[in-house]
Structure 1
Amino acid sequence: MNKPLGTLDIFSPEAYLDEVEVARRCKELRALGPVLWVEQEPYRPFWAALRRDVIMQVERDSRTWLAAPRQTLIPRDIEDAIIAQWGVRTGPVRTLLDMDGSDHRDHRGLTQSWFNSAFLDTLRERMARLAREYVDKLAALGGECDFVEEVAVPYPLIMITSILGLPDSDADLVLRLTQELFGAQDPERQRSGEFGQDVVMEFFGYLARVVAERRAEPRDDLMSVVANATLHDQPLPDMDTLSYGMLLAAAGHDTTSSSVGIGMMQLARNPEEFAKLKVDPGLIAKAAQEMFRWATPVRHFMRTAAVDTELAGQPIKAGESVCLMYLAANRDEDAFPDPDAFRVDRSPNRHVAFGYGAHHCLGRILAEMEVEALFAEIVSRVDSIELAGTPEWVKTNHTGGLKHLPIRYRMAPRG
């Protein structure tokens, strides 16, 4: 069987600077087939999965489809340099994202209870209070602001640092390191070229001090859990501990901030949808899911076939990689009626923004609670929203969203 080729670029960081164009290309590629072979420099060849049902098939079968050794699209020269220095493609970092089987289950279990609804229910009051504080900030800013910088970024950042037990004074450092880590392809955020390991080393240096403190004096926070974790009666290796802490500190807020920013952008563009929420705040939970679908802050992950297999009728050889294109899947016409429309009452909404199966997002419930709490407060206190300029996107093909979102808004009169 000949390999069906996909030649439109939805894989480079540059592609995601134009949201309309990348969505158009995704649609054209889906029309060519659910699984396409891609030979695009500067990456090693790979398969691209573009439909929701195909991605779900991969996500459900973690024995056939492995996270290791290839998690994301990295230019081959950078990939080779990292392997030459560290011996593995991920460099010094080893997280849940690149583990498989019992190794993944055991490590995920170390913090799973901190991200279940029973624990998170205890945070609802703090979350509501923080949401009120940020809508108070909107009121104080006088009707116009960069929503990403003023609200979307700091709101989930403060939540995750408080769960980890990091002081509020460290939030700016955690934010800078996260943006440099996830924005390594963006000229405004990269430090020493794409995928520079110096950011990881600085992150590790900061977290090493926190880990040492929590080992000396454990507290009732998530960093104490990570710092003192054991598996099979043995402490985690230090690099695994630091990698775990970095994943929680970075991914624990960046993807949520992307969803918050893009969600607000869509409400500003679709005033009739915002009006629906004003009339019926009970739609907030559904609206949050539509924001996640639209944002899809993690654009892709890779999986590698452990054995010869087949995907959507296409033979895949052992060792070949499949790139799960979540954004394309979340606009799949076969899964979502009128997929390019933003609908706050969309139901059902079986998006794959959080992944699925063994590697589904550990912080999904936390992200849902944060988005719902913030927009419930916004809907109750803001009368209208509109764009006051052009939204600006982070240049990345993996994890990211908006850098800037200028909006103009009118607060509801106090009753």
Structure 2
Amino acid sequence: MERLMPSEIPAALAASIVNPATYADPPKINAAFAEIRRNYPFAKARVEGFDPFWVASRHADVIAIETQPDIFLNGAGSNNLAPRSSVDMVKAATGENNLIRTLVTVDGAEHKALRKIGFPAFTPKALKALEADIRDIAREYVDRFVENAPHSDFVEDIALNYPLRVVMSLLGVPAEDEPFMLRLTQEIFAADDPDLNRSKTEVTPEQRLAAVSAVMKDLEDYFGKVTKEARERPTEGLNSLIANARIDGEYLTDRQLMGYYIIAATAGHDTTSNTVSSAMWALAERPELLAELQEHPDRIDGFVEESVRWASAVKTFMRTAVEDAEIAGQQVKSGDWIMLSYHSASQDEDVYPDPFTFDITRPRRKQIAFGTGPHACIGQHLARMEMRVLWEELLPRLDSVRLAGEPKLFKSNFVVGPKTLPIEFSVR
């Protein structure tokens, strides 16, 4: 039998980090990446049905790749970890490597121009003016939550709907359309999970792609109407800003336009929702943490930051090399596909001592879960503000909180968070 070289991950281990179900089992996925960081820190994975890909599992290697955007591109190959058959079907259907054309799937001048459209709305200064409105939304949900004591599924009662309301209000989406947006978001990011996907069954890669394509069609139909209305009657909402944006004097193409809407309307709340619920999970298991945050509310920022690392809601993104390069002593060739594991990088022992301890004193400057370089999350300041404001409103009203059942994570190798979080709590 041919001996595996250190540059190649053993087949079973490689298959585990592709399998969506592994990400729904924290001990299993954490152990898998701990072994990879220890023995195969930048190595190639070969999994049946997938093109071979390198796995960047360490903090430094993820940063090295993300800060060389001219060599490692988002759009030169599939930006998501997907089977070869799905990648081929997307290319046949769109003529491109990704199903939608958006900030996270383009590079260079186009990425810079698209990012410039929305960036002014997401600066700390711009968001400061919205804090009072966001706090009002948080109080509404906290009041309702407290009234329902002592039992809650925190995902359903706060984590899903509070960030959704914030983002939809920024976009200008009416409240009556929020359930529609929430359902479609879940069907996109939990396409592999039979509890949340469109068919409510286990799916093949081909069925998964067909279902996600159908969701995209629903979103495109919705935002097509939004565009028409926003161009006829512009408003200050982000949707109107997108609809009326121009690059080199021309409106965005249909694919650019729909991609912008979709990423703002879906990714804008899903990752925050997952992080908020993961933070409550951490609180429910650590009564001393609730007491500490109530005694020292100035530590809420640290709690938010550790929640972002702890959840690492976006598990993976892919990059494609367009030049030969060296990463961690390995020779990467032009055309090679690379997984950036934010999940693993957020647990890198060389950066985060004792990474499986929830520690609100960790340095913020080392955060990787929002990405880095030109593709760093455009909405990260909004996400931090939403979480900080929620905890500032909720924590002073809690007397105790504990788990009242087993939380469940949804199955995905892309974006992951709790789908149920049963808690029992008392209020002051």
- Give the TM-score band, short-chain normalised: over 0.9
Between the aligned partners of 2:295 and 2:242, the Cα distance in structure 1 is: 44
Between the aligned partners of 2:236 and 2:93, the Cα distance in structure 1 is: 37
Between the aligned partners of 2:365 and 2:33, the Cα distance in structure 1 is: 19
Secondary structure, counterpart of 2:208 in structure 1: coil
Between the aligned partners of 2:365 and 2:127, the Cα distance in structure 1 is: 23
Contact 1:297 1:400 in 2 (8 A): yes
Provide structure 2 residue ranges, at least 5 long, that are not aligned to the other structure.
200-206
1:100-148 per-position Cα deviation (integer Å, ceiling 9, x unaligned): 1111001100110000111111111111111111111121112111000
Which of 216, 220, 235 in structure 1 is aligned with 2:236?
220
Q: Which residue of 1 aligns with 2:86?
A: 78
**Aligned-pair distance for 1:287?**
0.5
Q: Which residue of 2 aligns with 1:6?
A: 9
Q: Which residue of 2 aligns with 1:356?
A: 372
**Aligned-pair distance for 1:257?**
0.2
**Aligned-pair distance for 1:364?**
0.3
Q: Work out whether 1:151 is the aligned partner of 2:165.
A: no
Between the aligned partners of 1:411 and 1:211, the Cα distance in structure 2 is: 45
Q: CA RMSD in A?
A: 1.3
Secondary structure, counterpart of 1:335 in structure 2: coil
Between the aligned partners of 1:220 and 1:302, the Cα distance in structure 2 is: 34
Q: Which residue of 2 aligns with 1:394?
A: 410
1:336-394 per-position Cα deviation (integer Å, ceiling 9, x unaligned): 01110001232356121100010000100000000001111121111111000011111
1:47-102 per-position Cα deviation (integer Å, ceiling 9, x unaligned): 000000111111111111111122011111222222222222313x1001111111
Q: Which residue of 2 aligns with 1:230?
A: 246
Which of 200, 215, 218 in structure 2 is aligned with 1:199?
215
Between the aligned partners of 1:368 and 1:336, the Cα distance in structure 2 is: 20
Q: Which residue of 2 aligns with 1:163?
A: 170
Between the aligned partners of 1:382 and 1:123, the Cα distance in structure 2 is: 26
Q: Work out whether 1:190 is the aligned partner of 2:193.
A: no
Provide structure 1 residue ranges, at least 5 long, that are not aligned to the other structure.
none
Between the aligned partners of 2:318 and 2:255, the Cα distance in structure 1 is: 23
Indicate the larger mover: 131-140 or 278-287: 131-140
Secondary structure, counterpart of 2:377 in structure 1: coil
**Aligned-pair distance for 1:6?**
1.6
Q: Work out whether 1:174 is the aligned partner of 2:174.
A: no
Letter in 2 for 1:19: P
Q: Which residue of 2 aligns with 1:45?
A: 52
Letter in 2 for 1:300: T
Between the aligned partners of 2:370 and 2:48, the Cα distance in structure 1 is: 28
Secondary structure, counterpart of 2:48 in structure 1: coil
Contact 1:394 1:400 in 2 (8 A): yes
Q: Which residue of 2 aligns with 1:211?
A: 227
Between the aligned partners of 1:27 and 1:375, the Cα distance in structure 2 is: 31
Secondary structure, counterpart of 2:92 in structure 1: helix
**Aligned-pair distance for 1:274?**
1.9
Contact 2:6 2:40 in 1 (8 A): no
Q: Which residue of 2 aligns with 1:257?
A: 273
Between the aligned partners of 1:362 and 1:64, the Cα distance in structure 2 is: 21
Letter in 2 for 1:4: S
Q: Work out whether 1:368 is the aligned partner of 2:376.
A: no
Secondary structure, counterpart of 1:334 in structure 2: coil
Letter in 1 for 2:336: E
Contact 2:325 2:331 in 1 (8 A): yes
1:13-63 per-position Cα deviation (integer Å, ceiling 9, x unaligned): 111110111111111111013201100123211000000011111111111
Between the aligned partners of 2:115 and 2:365, the Cα distance in structure 1 is: 26
Between the aligned partners of 1:400 and 1:160, the Cα distance in structure 2 is: 19
5 Å-filtered alignment, 1:190-339, equals 190-191=197-198, 193-195=207-209, 196=211, 197-339=213-355
**Aligned-pair distance for 1:239?**
2.4
Between the aligned partners of 2:248 and 2:373, the Cα distance in structure 1 is: 24
Q: Which residue of 2 aligns with 1:60?
A: 67
Q: Which residue of 2 aligns with 1:120?
A: 127
Contact 1:273 1:343 in 2 (8 A): no
TM-score w.r.t. length of structure 1: 0.97
Q: Which residue of 1 aligns with 2:142?
A: 135
Between the aligned partners of 1:100 and 1:349, the Cα distance in structure 2 is: 25
Between the aligned partners of 2:371 and 2:410, the Cα distance in structure 1 is: 21
Q: Which residue of 2 aligns with 1:342?
A: 358
Aligned length: 411
Contact 1:290 1:349 in 2 (8 A): no
Between the aligned partners of 1:45 and 1:174, the Cα distance in structure 2 is: 35
Between the aligned partners of 2:295 and 2:30, the Cα distance in structure 1 is: 31
**Aligned-pair distance for 1:218?**
0.3
Between the aligned partners of 1:273 and 1:344, the Cα distance in structure 2 is: 9
**Aligned-pair distance for 1:333?**
0.4
**Aligned-pair distance for 1:211?**
1.0
Letter in 2 for 1:387: L
Which portions of structure 1, spanning 4 or more consecutive aligned residues, are displaced by more than 4 angstroms? none
Between the aligned partners of 1:184 and 1:348, the Cα distance in structure 2 is: 32
Between the aligned partners of 1:407 and 1:43, the Cα distance in structure 2 is: 39
